[in-house]
Structure 1
């Protein structure tokens, strides 16, 4: 396959020369050999989609979905757990890894300065014993493994600590807009995307991040240890009420913050989940996703006027009257089929509250009309369009 590899490499090199790492194309070839190649450059206002179809359209520059804007709620009564004992933690680690190289006070202070947050005493105690740098182990895998076993996770070097803010957990609009921040009154961990108080210091070896939580939920403790699942876009699980418990007493039972007895902020209406929009409607509803449906098209009347509804996604052909969308005054993300978008565009009824939009394509649709539709939507917000370069030629058949 070397010829094919070489051909692809020439294309990649040409893209790199103009500052692109990818390009979308549509090829049309007739039996006579006439060929037309449409090169599509999505530009800064369009996320990557599936195949030749555009992803979400960013209608407002720099906009992010509501969960990514959410800050932690203050919990003034939150305090460290009774199990916190930085001195015991440090003694235990020195016994387990006596030859480790610890961080200096100056190095710890430097880490606090660029993080912009004071490290809790337990985390300082840990790094006074070992700063977690690979070069300190001299490429000795066994030494690195001893540190991991002593701490209970794969420890990040002190100079690689980071704050797990929402920006550290990027997600395409079409998925992020269907998430919701939910923190029940008895939650130990706030159901956030990220927090300025989540200091990531390790990994469980499978890509899940381990962090100290300085912004706990109503029933949590300042300095508790949480895990951010790499397969989840939002939320975190409680591992231990303190670093001391996690390391010294090896108490790291994962507790999910998910609750099923609360009215859900996200409702999915389809043939296997909720079977009516009426059942989904309540004042706290933020996201309504209408999926595959084999009944009569659905009316949006039950959710008209809901104060927090911000996202609507509807599978093509599931809405009785797309113009009912105009009555949903708080939408920031809307995803519809091409025909439904056509109805809104022709009526001048595209909601101007939108920050982003998506076109749901069902089946093997020709990509170019979808691109044209996307450009119509982008033009309403004066956003950069998807550009198209057309190359014509003849291929011998």
Structure 2
């Protein structure tokens, strides 16, 4: 007889989920009466998971070990094998477990129209219009025809300095530079050409010289990309989920050196500061900037960039800029927050340039949206559950492209037929330990209005058996 490896468990087989459900039931049973049904929920992806499991505390003086959570890892791994077998990246679930162990498990298959949630069993952002981008990601740079290179840009000095610092470097040929320009779709500025004529920064050119990368970094002032790895740092290169991207605003003050963009077809990324922030040559500067200036694109921000040096020559010579990015203190903000610690009212936030209104935790009477009705640029509204006096007022905000509300507020809009049809994306705010079933129902109604793929719910029935009581100590 030949032993055969059994096929991986199916994601729609109750036995696949039983170990996870037993862990969750055991963790939730502490301090609860065993005569009542328990509800558990979570999410498992092929490479991560979010489960309300209470892991045992390590013994005093000992760090947590893999063995301490082996049951959890093995239970999750069983589901992950099922996900891989089904070709599914992740799945959310909720289950109702009776005292006898009878269980009703509901699985929520991901929809291509729903972004993954942030570690919860509730749906993430709903993409109502396929391929739609938030307004800041659609912004292109303003033309600055008067922009010229800085007086400090000196290709001859730059080349002389780099060759002195990197005498053994292998530079790019003119054909290789031309190929890079063709790939990027823009001509490289002269200073950047000079840099790569000195060194094309390819690992194979360093051979066994382990110190070459560090010497090059010191010589240039950053971790230099190879000529083949240059890229255009446009908006598409700066990924951000709809929920957060919709909260950004592109603002360029009149005294700014750098335009407040998400990205630009004129930002040529050529290096890294060693911490994940990208250095780029800026060919589309702000009103007070220089063509060819060096900017830093922060990996922790979703929009804007910081001026580093007025030219590549300045960067290499460590003549860093002391100029600020600009200020706009005379203008009210395009993004306004109304809550117990920020603005005291919707009236205080309202002005013609308002693009984003976020209403947060509020301990007074619910708020009216009347002050912002008719504002020409308002495109994003988020409201903490229970903060709106009349959610139907949202129907009068005809320019909204993103809306985030609690399930009850969405229910009011749906029942009144008042969901703004201008929306491109939407989100449902859920706080605390709420059953995801009502949230999924609201999400599917919204998706149906735009004829988008809905979240598929699958119900599995099974029996976990009686809960084993832990021995008393």
Bin the TM-score by the shorter chain: over 0.9
CA separation of 1:294 and 1:354: change in aligned 2, threshold 3 A:
same
Residues in 2 aligned to 1:279 and 1:214: alpha-carbon distance in whole angstroms:
38
Q: How far does residue 21 in structure 1 lie from its aligned partner after superposition?
A: 2.1
2:273 aligned with 1:204: yes
Give the corresponding residue for 1:8: 76
Give the corresponding residue for 1:52: 121
* 1:60-71 correspondence to structure 2 within 5 Å: 60-71=129-140
Q: How far does residue 310 in structure 1 lie from its aligned partner after superposition?
A: 0.4
Residues in 2 aligned to 1:379 and 1:74: alpha-carbon distance in whole angstroms:
41
Please say if residues 256 and 325 of structure 2, whose CA atoms lie closer than 8 Å, have aligned partners that are also in contact.
no
Give the corresponding residue for 1:129: 198
> When the two structures are aligned, how many residues end up with a matched partner?
397
Please say if residues 41 and 387 of structure 1, whose CA atoms lie closer than 8 Å, have aligned partners that are also in contact.
yes
Which has the bigger relative contact order, CA under 8 A and spacing at least 6?
1
CA separation of 1:382 and 1:363: change in aligned 2, threshold 3 A:
same
Please say if residues 255 and 327 of structure 2, whose CA atoms lie closer than 8 Å, have aligned partners that are also in contact.
no
Give the corresponding residue for 1:86: 155
- Once the two structures are superposed, what CA deviation does each residue of 1:288-338 show, in whole Å capped at 9, x if it has no partner? 000000111110011011000000000000001101111111000010111
Residue 90 of structure 2: SS of its match in structure 1? coil
2:391 aligned with 1:325: no
* 1:268-287 correspondence to structure 2 within 5 Å: 268-287=337-356
Q: How far does residue 5 in structure 1 lie from its aligned partner after superposition?
A: 3.5
Q: Which moved more, 1:367-376 or 1:26-35?
A: 26-35
The CA RMSD over aligned residues, in Å, is 1.4
Residues in 2 aligned to 1:33 and 1:6: alpha-carbon distance in whole angstroms:
21
Residues in 2 aligned to 1:81 and 1:351: alpha-carbon distance in whole angstroms:
48
Residues in 1 aligned to 2:324 and 2:88: alpha-carbon distance in whole angstroms:
43
CA separation of 1:387 and 1:249: change in aligned 2, threshold 3 A:
same
Give the corresponding residue for 1:316: 385
CA separation of 1:159 and 1:331: change in aligned 2, threshold 3 A:
same
Give the corresponding residue for 1:105: 174
- Once the two structures are superposed, what CA deviation does each residue of 1:161-204 show, in whole Å capped at 9, x if it has no partner? 11011111111111110100000111110000000000000000
Residue 23 of structure 1: SS of its match in structure 2? strand
Structure 1-normalised TM-score? 0.97
Q: How far does residue 23 in structure 1 lie from its aligned partner after superposition?
A: 1.6
Structure 2-normalised TM-score? 0.82
CA separation of 1:395 and 1:258: change in aligned 2, threshold 3 A:
farther
Residues in 2 aligned to 1:259 and 1:184: alpha-carbon distance in whole angstroms:
6
User: Which stretches of structure 1, 4 residues or longer, exceed 6 Å deviation after superposition?
Assistant: none
For residue 447 of structure 2, the aligned residue among 372, 378, 389 is 378
Please say if residues 236 and 257 of structure 1, whose CA atoms lie closer than 8 Å, have aligned partners that are also in contact.
no
Please say if residues 90 and 110 of structure 2, whose CA atoms lie closer than 8 Å, have aligned partners that are also in contact.
no
* 1:1-397 correspondence to structure 2 within 5 Å: 1=67, 2=70, 4-50=72-118, 51-138=120-207, 140-253=209-322, 255-257=324-326, 259-397=328-466
Please say if residues 237 and 254 of structure 1, whose CA atoms lie closer than 8 Å, have aligned partners that are also in contact.
no
Please say if residues 273 and 279 of structure 2, whose CA atoms lie closer than 8 Å, have aligned partners that are also in contact.
yes
Stretches of structure 1 lacking an aligned partner (at least 5 in a row): none
Q: How far does residue 261 in structure 1 lie from its aligned partner after superposition?
A: 4.0
Please say if residues 332 and 356 of structure 1, whose CA atoms lie closer than 8 Å, have aligned partners that are also in contact.
yes
Radius of gyration: which is bigger? 2
